[in-house]
Structure 1
Protein backbone atom coordinates (compact mmCIF):
# COMPACT_ATOMS: atom_id res chain seq x y z
CA UNK A 1 0.00 0.00 0.00
CA UNK A 2 2.83 2.40 0.86
CA UNK A 3 4.37 1.89 -2.59
CA UNK A 4 1.05 2.91 -4.24
CA UNK A 5 0.84 6.02 -2.06
CA UNK A 6 4.43 6.93 -2.88
CA UNK A 7 3.75 6.47 -6.61
CA UNK A 8 0.58 8.58 -6.41
CA UNK A 9 2.47 11.29 -4.53
CA UNK A 10 5.21 11.24 -7.16
CA UNK A 11 2.64 11.53 -9.97
CA UNK A 12 0.89 14.42 -8.23
CA UNK A 13 4.22 16.16 -7.66
CA UNK A 14 5.23 15.69 -11.31
CA UNK A 15 1.85 17.04 -12.43
CA UNK A 16 2.26 20.07 -10.14
CA UNK A 17 5.73 20.71 -11.60
CA UNK A 18 4.31 20.50 -15.12
CA UNK A 19 1.52 22.93 -14.23
CA UNK A 20 4.04 25.38 -12.76
CA UNK A 21 6.25 25.18 -15.86
CA UNK A 22 3.20 25.65 -18.11
CA UNK A 23 2.10 28.67 -16.06
CA UNK A 24 5.60 30.14 -16.29
CA UNK A 25 5.61 29.63 -20.08
CA UNK A 26 2.25 31.44 -20.31
CA UNK A 27 3.53 34.27 -18.10
CA UNK A 28 6.56 34.74 -20.36
CA UNK A 29 4.29 34.71 -23.42
CA UNK A 30 1.98 37.31 -21.80
CA UNK A 31 4.97 39.52 -21.03
CA UNK A 32 6.52 39.18 -24.49
CA UNK A 33 3.26 39.76 -26.34
CA UNK A 34 1.26 42.02 -23.98
CA UNK A 35 -1.67 39.63 -24.49
CA UNK A 36 -4.19 38.36 -21.96
CA UNK A 37 -4.55 34.67 -21.12
CA UNK A 38 -7.57 34.35 -23.40
CA UNK A 39 -5.75 36.08 -26.24
CA UNK A 40 -2.81 33.70 -25.85
CA UNK A 41 -5.19 30.74 -25.77
CA UNK A 42 -6.69 32.00 -29.05
CA UNK A 43 -3.25 32.22 -30.66
CA UNK A 44 -2.30 28.76 -29.39
CA UNK A 45 -5.54 27.33 -30.76
CA UNK A 46 -4.96 29.03 -34.12
CA UNK A 47 -1.39 27.77 -34.37
CA UNK A 48 -2.36 24.22 -33.45
CA UNK A 49 -5.21 24.26 -35.97
CA UNK A 50 -2.91 25.64 -38.67
CA UNK A 51 -0.40 22.89 -37.93
CA UNK A 52 -3.19 20.35 -38.46
CA UNK A 53 -4.44 22.11 -41.63
CA UNK A 54 -7.75 23.10 -39.98
CA UNK A 55 -9.52 26.39 -40.52
CA UNK A 56 -10.79 28.28 -37.48
CA UNK A 57 -13.93 30.38 -37.35
CA UNK A 58 -14.91 32.85 -34.64
CA UNK A 59 -17.64 30.40 -33.58
CA UNK A 60 -15.09 27.62 -33.07
CA UNK A 61 -12.97 30.00 -30.97
CA UNK A 62 -16.00 31.02 -28.89
CA UNK A 63 -16.77 27.38 -28.17
CA UNK A 64 -13.13 26.61 -27.37
CA UNK A 65 -12.86 29.44 -24.84
CA UNK A 66 -16.43 29.18 -23.60
CA UNK A 67 -17.18 32.85 -24.24
CA UNK A 68 -20.03 34.62 -25.97
CA UNK A 69 -19.75 35.69 -29.59
CA UNK A 70 -19.77 39.33 -28.44
CA UNK A 71 -16.81 38.68 -26.13
CA UNK A 72 -15.03 36.82 -28.91
CA UNK A 73 -15.57 39.71 -31.31
CA UNK A 74 -14.01 42.09 -28.78
CA UNK A 75 -11.03 39.77 -28.28
CA UNK A 76 -10.55 39.37 -32.02
CA UNK A 77 -10.85 43.12 -32.60
CA UNK A 78 -8.08 43.73 -30.05
CA UNK A 79 -5.87 41.00 -31.52
CA UNK A 80 -6.39 42.33 -35.03
CA UNK A 81 -5.53 45.90 -33.97
CA UNK A 82 -2.37 44.55 -32.31
CA UNK A 83 -1.40 42.76 -35.53
CA UNK A 84 -1.66 39.31 -33.93
CA UNK A 85 -4.43 37.82 -36.11
CA UNK A 86 -5.89 38.20 -39.54
CA UNK A 87 -9.51 37.77 -40.59
CA UNK A 88 -10.06 36.40 -44.08
CA UNK A 89 -13.08 35.09 -45.96
CA UNK A 90 -13.67 31.36 -45.62
CA UNK A 91 -12.44 29.64 -48.81
CA UNK A 92 -15.64 27.63 -49.35
CA UNK A 93 -18.24 29.72 -47.45
CA UNK A 94 -17.84 33.37 -48.44
CA UNK A 95 -20.31 34.42 -45.70
CA UNK A 96 -17.99 33.12 -42.99
CA UNK A 97 -14.65 34.34 -41.70
CA UNK A 98 -11.50 32.36 -40.99
CA UNK A 99 -9.12 33.53 -38.29
CA UNK A 100 -5.37 33.00 -38.67
CA UNK A 101 -2.38 33.94 -36.54
CA UNK A 102 -0.27 36.75 -37.97
CA UNK A 103 3.55 36.60 -38.06
CA UNK A 104 3.79 38.76 -34.90
CA UNK A 105 1.79 36.21 -32.91
CA UNK A 106 3.72 33.31 -34.41
CA UNK A 107 6.98 34.90 -33.25
CA UNK A 108 5.95 35.94 -29.73
CA UNK A 109 3.53 33.20 -28.75
CA UNK A 110 4.05 30.63 -31.48
CA UNK A 111 7.72 29.86 -30.98
CA UNK A 112 7.27 28.36 -27.51
CA UNK A 113 4.04 26.62 -28.60
CA UNK A 114 5.74 24.99 -31.58
CA UNK A 115 8.79 24.04 -29.51
CA UNK A 116 6.56 22.49 -26.85
CA UNK A 117 4.49 20.60 -29.42
CA UNK A 118 7.64 19.20 -31.04
CA UNK A 119 9.06 18.18 -27.66
CA UNK A 120 5.76 16.55 -26.74
CA UNK A 121 5.75 14.55 -29.98
CA UNK A 122 9.33 13.40 -29.37
CA UNK A 123 8.58 12.43 -25.77
CA UNK A 124 5.46 10.53 -26.82
CA UNK A 125 7.36 8.76 -29.60
CA UNK A 126 9.88 7.48 -27.03
CA UNK A 127 7.11 5.64 -25.16
CA UNK A 128 6.05 2.09 -25.93
CA UNK A 129 2.51 1.57 -27.21
CA UNK A 130 1.46 0.33 -23.77
CA UNK A 131 3.00 3.39 -22.10
CA UNK A 132 1.29 5.69 -24.60
CA UNK A 133 -2.05 4.02 -23.92
CA UNK A 134 -1.50 4.35 -20.15
CA UNK A 135 -0.65 8.07 -20.46
CA UNK A 136 -3.70 8.74 -22.64
CA UNK A 137 -5.93 6.79 -20.25
CA UNK A 138 -4.48 8.68 -17.26
CA UNK A 139 -4.88 12.10 -18.88
CA UNK A 140 -8.46 11.39 -20.00
CA UNK A 141 -9.41 10.21 -16.52
CA UNK A 142 -7.69 13.27 -15.05
CA UNK A 143 -9.60 15.53 -17.45
CA UNK A 144 -12.84 13.86 -16.45
CA UNK A 145 -11.99 14.33 -12.76
CA UNK A 146 -11.26 18.04 -13.30
CA UNK A 147 -14.51 18.47 -15.23
CA UNK A 148 -16.45 16.68 -12.50
CA UNK A 149 -14.79 18.66 -9.71
CA UNK A 150 -15.44 21.95 -11.50
CA UNK A 151 -19.16 21.16 -11.64
CA UNK A 152 -19.25 21.25 -7.83
CA UNK A 153 -17.77 24.77 -7.66
CA UNK A 154 -20.38 27.29 -6.59
CA UNK A 155 -23.01 24.66 -6.90
Structure 2
Protein backbone atom coordinates (compact mmCIF):
# COMPACT_ATOMS: atom_id res chain seq x y z
CA UNK A 1 0.00 0.00 0.00
CA UNK A 2 1.32 3.42 -0.88
CA UNK A 3 2.10 6.01 1.76
CA UNK A 4 -0.52 8.33 0.32
CA UNK A 5 -3.26 5.73 0.95
CA UNK A 6 -1.94 4.21 4.15
CA UNK A 7 -4.27 4.27 7.15
CA UNK A 8 -1.28 5.06 9.38
CA UNK A 9 -0.28 8.58 8.51
CA UNK A 10 3.43 9.33 8.71
CA UNK A 11 3.78 13.14 9.04
CA UNK A 12 7.54 13.15 8.37
CA UNK A 13 7.17 11.24 5.11
CA UNK A 14 3.99 13.04 4.11
CA UNK A 15 5.72 16.43 4.14
CA UNK A 16 8.08 15.05 1.48
CA UNK A 17 5.51 13.10 -0.52
CA UNK A 18 4.57 14.98 -3.73
CA UNK A 19 1.18 13.25 -3.74
CA UNK A 20 0.40 15.25 -0.61
CA UNK A 21 2.46 18.45 -0.90
CA UNK A 22 1.96 18.80 -4.67
CA UNK A 23 -1.15 16.76 -5.57
CA UNK A 24 -1.60 18.47 -8.94
CA UNK A 25 1.99 17.79 -10.02
CA UNK A 26 2.67 21.49 -10.61
CA UNK A 27 6.31 21.28 -9.52
CA UNK A 28 7.25 17.64 -9.06
CA UNK A 29 7.15 15.35 -12.09
CA UNK A 30 5.99 12.08 -10.55
CA UNK A 31 3.01 11.02 -12.70
CA UNK A 32 5.04 8.40 -14.60
CA UNK A 33 6.41 6.63 -11.53
CA UNK A 34 4.68 3.44 -10.28
CA UNK A 35 3.37 3.82 -6.70
CA UNK A 36 5.99 1.46 -5.26
CA UNK A 37 8.84 3.43 -6.86
CA UNK A 38 7.34 6.71 -5.71
CA UNK A 39 7.15 5.28 -2.18
CA UNK A 40 10.84 4.40 -2.45
CA UNK A 41 11.80 7.89 -3.64
CA UNK A 42 9.89 9.38 -0.70
CA UNK A 43 11.71 6.93 1.60
CA UNK A 44 15.06 8.20 0.25
CA UNK A 45 14.07 11.83 0.91
CA UNK A 46 12.78 10.89 4.37
CA UNK A 47 16.08 9.16 5.15
CA UNK A 48 18.00 12.27 4.08
CA UNK A 49 15.82 14.39 6.37
CA UNK A 50 16.40 11.97 9.25
CA UNK A 51 20.18 12.13 8.65
CA UNK A 52 20.15 15.93 8.59
CA UNK A 53 18.19 16.07 11.83
CA UNK A 54 20.52 13.54 13.44
CA UNK A 55 23.54 15.55 12.27
CA UNK A 56 22.02 18.72 13.72
CA UNK A 57 21.45 16.99 17.08
CA UNK A 58 24.98 15.60 17.11
CA UNK A 59 26.44 19.00 16.26
CA UNK A 60 24.40 20.67 18.99
CA UNK A 61 25.45 18.06 21.55
CA UNK A 62 29.13 18.50 20.66
CA UNK A 63 28.89 22.29 20.77
CA UNK A 64 27.03 22.19 24.09
CA UNK A 65 29.58 19.81 25.58
CA UNK A 66 32.47 22.03 24.53
CA UNK A 67 30.49 25.28 25.04
CA UNK A 68 31.16 26.49 21.51
CA UNK A 69 29.10 27.79 18.61
CA UNK A 70 29.05 26.23 15.14
CA UNK A 71 31.69 28.57 13.68
CA UNK A 72 34.02 27.88 16.61
CA UNK A 73 33.62 24.13 16.09
CA UNK A 74 34.34 24.45 12.37
CA UNK A 75 37.46 26.44 13.20
CA UNK A 76 38.74 23.84 15.66
CA UNK A 77 38.07 20.99 13.22
CA UNK A 78 40.02 22.84 10.53
CA UNK A 79 42.99 23.50 12.82
CA UNK A 80 43.06 19.89 14.03
CA UNK A 81 42.88 18.52 10.48
CA UNK A 82 45.65 20.89 9.37
CA UNK A 83 47.86 19.80 12.25
CA UNK A 84 47.35 16.15 11.35
CA UNK A 85 48.34 17.01 7.77
CA UNK A 86 51.44 18.88 8.93
CA UNK A 87 50.11 22.28 7.85
CA UNK A 88 50.56 25.45 9.91
CA UNK A 89 47.34 27.44 10.23
CA UNK A 90 47.31 31.23 10.17
CA UNK A 91 44.43 33.59 10.89
CA UNK A 92 44.17 34.40 7.18
CA UNK A 93 43.87 30.74 6.25
CA UNK A 94 41.18 30.23 8.87
CA UNK A 95 39.26 33.32 7.77
CA UNK A 96 39.32 32.03 4.20
CA UNK A 97 38.07 28.62 5.23
CA UNK A 98 35.26 30.01 7.36
CA UNK A 99 34.54 32.83 4.88
CA UNK A 100 34.46 35.50 7.56
CA UNK A 101 36.23 38.85 7.84
CA UNK A 102 39.62 39.47 9.40
CA UNK A 103 37.97 41.45 12.20
CA UNK A 104 35.59 38.57 12.94
CA UNK A 105 38.39 36.00 12.95
CA UNK A 106 40.40 38.12 15.38
CA UNK A 107 37.45 38.33 17.79
CA UNK A 108 36.86 34.60 17.50
CA UNK A 109 40.50 33.73 18.14
CA UNK A 110 40.60 36.08 21.13
CA UNK A 111 37.55 34.32 22.54
CA UNK A 112 38.90 30.81 21.88
CA UNK A 113 42.29 31.67 23.35
CA UNK A 114 40.71 33.16 26.48
CA UNK A 115 38.63 29.99 26.92
CA UNK A 116 41.76 27.83 26.66
CA UNK A 117 40.89 26.19 23.33
CA UNK A 118 43.73 27.53 21.17
CA UNK A 119 47.20 29.01 21.38
CA UNK A 120 48.86 31.56 19.12
CA UNK A 121 52.60 31.59 18.46
CA UNK A 122 54.97 33.32 16.01
CA UNK A 123 55.09 31.82 12.53
CA UNK A 124 58.54 30.33 11.87
CA UNK A 125 58.77 31.75 8.33
CA UNK A 126 56.55 34.85 8.38
CA UNK A 127 57.06 37.44 11.10
CA UNK A 128 53.76 39.11 10.22
CA UNK A 129 51.75 35.95 10.90
CA UNK A 130 50.95 33.80 13.91
CA UNK A 131 50.36 30.07 14.03
CA UNK A 132 47.11 28.84 15.54
CA UNK A 133 47.07 25.52 17.40
CA UNK A 134 44.46 23.67 19.43
CA UNK A 135 45.34 23.01 23.06
CA UNK A 136 45.84 19.37 24.13
CA UNK A 137 42.75 19.45 26.37
CA UNK A 138 40.48 20.74 23.60
CA UNK A 139 41.99 18.29 21.12
CA UNK A 140 41.17 15.45 23.51
CA UNK A 141 37.60 16.71 23.93
CA UNK A 142 37.19 16.94 20.16
CA UNK A 143 38.45 13.38 19.71
CA UNK A 144 36.04 12.17 22.40
CA UNK A 145 33.03 13.74 20.65
CA UNK A 146 33.58 14.44 16.96
CA UNK A 147 36.23 11.75 16.47
CA UNK A 148 34.07 8.89 17.71
CA UNK A 149 31.08 10.04 15.66
CA UNK A 150 33.22 10.24 12.54
CA UNK A 151 34.62 6.76 13.19
CA UNK A 152 31.10 5.30 13.23
CA UNK A 153 30.20 7.13 10.02
CA UNK A 154 33.36 5.75 8.41
CA UNK A 155 32.34 2.22 9.41
CA UNK A 156 28.94 2.67 7.74
CA UNK A 157 30.56 3.88 4.50
CA UNK A 158 33.19 1.12 4.63
CA UNK A 159 30.45 -1.51 4.92
CA UNK A 160 29.17 -0.59 1.45
CA UNK A 161 30.45 -2.30 -1.65
CA UNK A 162 32.59 -0.23 -4.07
CA UNK A 163 29.66 -0.07 -6.50
CA UNK A 164 27.28 1.08 -3.75
CA UNK A 165 29.72 3.79 -2.70
CA UNK A 166 29.89 5.10 -6.27
CA UNK A 167 26.09 5.35 -6.36
CA UNK A 168 26.01 7.19 -3.03
CA UNK A 169 28.83 9.53 -4.08
CA UNK A 170 27.08 10.41 -7.33
CA UNK A 171 23.74 10.90 -5.61
CA UNK A 172 25.07 13.16 -2.86
CA UNK A 173 27.19 15.18 -5.30
CA UNK A 174 24.12 15.72 -7.48
CA UNK A 175 22.18 16.95 -4.45
CA UNK A 176 25.03 19.30 -3.51
CA UNK A 177 25.07 20.74 -7.03
CA UNK A 178 21.32 21.36 -6.84
CA UNK A 179 21.74 23.28 -3.58
CA UNK A 180 24.34 25.52 -5.22
CA UNK A 181 22.19 26.33 -8.24
CA UNK A 182 20.07 29.49 -8.14
CA UNK A 183 16.38 28.81 -8.57
CA UNK A 184 14.74 30.61 -11.53
CA UNK A 185 12.16 32.23 -9.27
CA UNK A 186 14.92 33.55 -6.99
CA UNK A 187 16.75 35.08 -9.93
CA UNK A 188 13.51 36.73 -11.08
CA UNK A 189 12.74 37.98 -7.58
CA UNK A 190 9.58 35.89 -7.32
CA UNK A 191 8.34 34.76 -3.93
CA UNK A 192 6.72 31.65 -5.38
CA UNK A 193 8.61 28.43 -4.50
CA UNK A 194 9.82 26.21 -7.30
CA UNK A 195 9.74 22.99 -5.31
CA UNK A 196 8.08 21.61 -2.18
CA UNK A 197 9.69 22.34 1.15
CA UNK A 198 11.86 19.52 2.50
CA UNK A 199 12.05 20.64 6.12
Regarding TM over 0.5, the answer is yes
Partner of 2:194: none
Alignment counterpart, residue 60 of structure 2, candidates 11, 27, 32: 27
Deviates more, 1:115-124 or 1:15-24: 115-124
Partner of 2:139: 106
Q: Does residue 1:136 correspond to 2:160, yes or no?
A: no
Displacement, 1:81? Answer: 0.7
Displacement, 1:95? Answer: 3.6
- Secondary structure of 1:17's aligned partner: helix
How many residues in Structure 1 have an aligned counterpart in Structure 2?
A: 154
Displacement, 1:84? Answer: 0.5
1:6-155 superposed matches below 5 A: 6-149=39-182, 152=186
| CA gap 1:133/1:94 in 2 versus in 1, 3 angstroms | farther
Displacement, 1:75? Answer: 0.5
Q: Which runs of 5+ in 1 are unaligned?
A: none
| CA gap 1:104/1:137 in 2 versus in 1, 3 angstroms | same
Query: RMSD of the TM alignment (CA)?
Result: 2.4
Q: Which runs of 5+ in 2 are unaligned?
A: 1-32, 190-199
More helix by proportion, 1 or 2? 1
Q: Which has the larger radius of gyration?
A: 2
Deviates more, 1:15-24 or 1:77-86: 15-24
Report Cα offsets for 1:11-31 as digits up to 9, x if no partner: 211111111111111211222
Displacement, 1:74? Answer: 0.6
- Secondary structure of 1:83's aligned partner: coil
- Secondary structure of 2:87's aligned partner: coil
Report Cα offsets for 1:74-116 as digits up to 9, x if no partner: 1011001111012233344454322222123223334221112
Partner Cα distance (2:125, 2:93) in 1:
16
Partner Cα distance (1:113, 1:65) in 2:
18
Report Cα offsets for 1:10-58 as digits up to 9, x if no partner: 2211111111111111211222222122111111222233334433222
| CA gap 1:142/1:56 in 2 versus in 1, 3 angstroms | farther
